[in-house]
Amino acid sequence: MLDIKYIRDNTERVKKAVHQKNAQIDIDRLLHLDSEKRQLQYDFDHRRAHQKKISKEIPLMKKSGEDTTNVLNEMQTLAAELKSISNNITNLSETIEQIMIGIPNTPHPSVPEGQSEQDNVIDKDVNSIPEDNKSADYRKHHIIAEQLGLIDLIRGAKITGSGFPVYKGQGAQLERALSNFMLDFHCHNHNYQEVAVPFVVNRKAMTGTGQLPKLEDDMYHIDQDDLFLIPTGEVPVTNIFANEILPYSVLPAKFVTLTPCFRREAGSYGKDTKGLQRIHQFNKVELVRFVQPADSYAALEEMVNEAETILDALNLPYRRTLLCAGDMSFASAKTYDLEVWAPGARKFLEVSSLSNFEDFQARRASIRFRDDKGTVRFLHTLNGSGLATPRTFIAILENYQNPDGSVTVPQVLRKYMDGRDKITGI
């Protein structure tokens, strides 16, 4: 959530962000309501001060024998007026809150203009793709997985529905190896603290990180308890510190978690539905940081590098993309995507999205810190995938496939797969 003072002082920038992120918010109406509320608050404070002053004089008037009838009647009228003004302020505050919860974060000045992924900027290419890797001879991952018996989409659909895969045998082992490797790497090499968090969260937590109210249709909701299956580990981990004031000495706080992620992907029917490219349940290693405001953009660059080291260790070709304003999430101020090359699909697939939210989530979730001068301030939150496993799984199958039908296991994963150097199927 943005600070109302920030909106007053940066009205045109906020209006531009609303347009860029396709939000339907009337900023002029918000500012009119805010002005009305401030005027009412001024009237309330003025009348309340007068009420306190007269209330102190009444005992003195009585003591001196003066008639207080008119004064008491005035106080009775004033009390009713104060109650009415207070109710109006409360109603206006609720309306303002409802509007403000729907205002997206404003993009950082370094974010490129644009309305869609077509306007994103390729920021870095890594491990150039060999020419033969671009040929049509490479099999797609779902064909490899079927031939080797690594996943079972049909039985997954029978159990739950389309988009809920069953990993089998060496496929399940590879999925687990990826998760364990990433967790170990981030804990040992990047000093993250691992946390295991709930996979179900309440409405307040979802609102705090910005998934609600905008994205409710994309979420799996448990009606009876008004709870949600998490769309990402970002939600429970960020809310660990909700409604808390942290000492500055604990910052930066760095957490990593492995969770399943559940997304309905409303409106995406028919898009990349083959295999594991677009599924409704998948595992992801998530990085979350809580930092002092002055440190957040340096922290973002560090997190991007940390996620890239996973792809470097797996020796996969990838690129880094800086998202334009219109392609960023509702809550993000700046986002990088990491996209791995899949030669079978003959395209890049996103495996990580890393964002700085500045104080946007912290305001919504009331996460603050006391700085070295004792001032209580909102901190900055950041998060990103380190990495999502399904498309990393895809990239390994397609980049490491062999002519004999097997798949070579990347060196760094072999200790997690009983020393196996090839996936040969069951």
Domain residue limits, the chain: 4-100, 117-423
Which has the closest alpha carbon to 336: 384, 295, 294?
Answer: 384
Fold of 117-423: BirA Bifunctional Protein; domain 2 (3.30.930)
Distance set, CA 113 to CA 267, 315, 326, 328, 360 (Å)? 25, 32, 8, 11, 20
Which has the closest alpha carbon to 144: 276, 273, 260?
Answer: 276
Location of structure tokens 């020419």: 131
Instruction: Give the span between the Cα atoms of 116 and 82, in whole angstroms.
Output: 50
Which has the closest alpha carbon to 53: 74, 80, 81?
Answer: 74
Q: Which amino acid, one-letter code, is at 374?
A: G
pLDDT by position in tens, the chain (length 426) = 999 999 999 999 999 999 999 999 999 999 999 999 999 999 999 999 999 999 999 999 888 888 888 999 999 999 999 999 999 999 999 999 999 999 999 999 999 999 999 999 998 777 666 665 555 589 999 999 999 999 999 999 999 999 999 999 999 999 999 999 999 999 999 999 999 999 999 999 999 999 999 999 999 999 999 999 999 999 999 999 999 999 999 999 999 999 999 999 754 555 666 799 999 999 999 999 999 999 999 999 999 999 999 999 999 999 999 999 999 999 999 999 999 999 999 999 999 999 999 999 999 999 999 999 999 999 999 999 999 999 999 999 999 999 999 999 999 999 999 999 999 986
Which has the closest alpha carbon to 178: 395, 4, 405, 402?
Answer: 395
Instruction: Give the span between the Cα atoms of 275 and 172, in whole angstroms.
Output: 15
Measured in degrees and rounded to the nearest 5, phi and psi for residue 151 equal: -135, 155
Instruction: Give the span between the Cα atoms of 66 and 149, in whole angstroms.
Output: 97
Fold of 4-100: Helix Hairpins (1.10.287)
| This prediction's pTM | 0.92
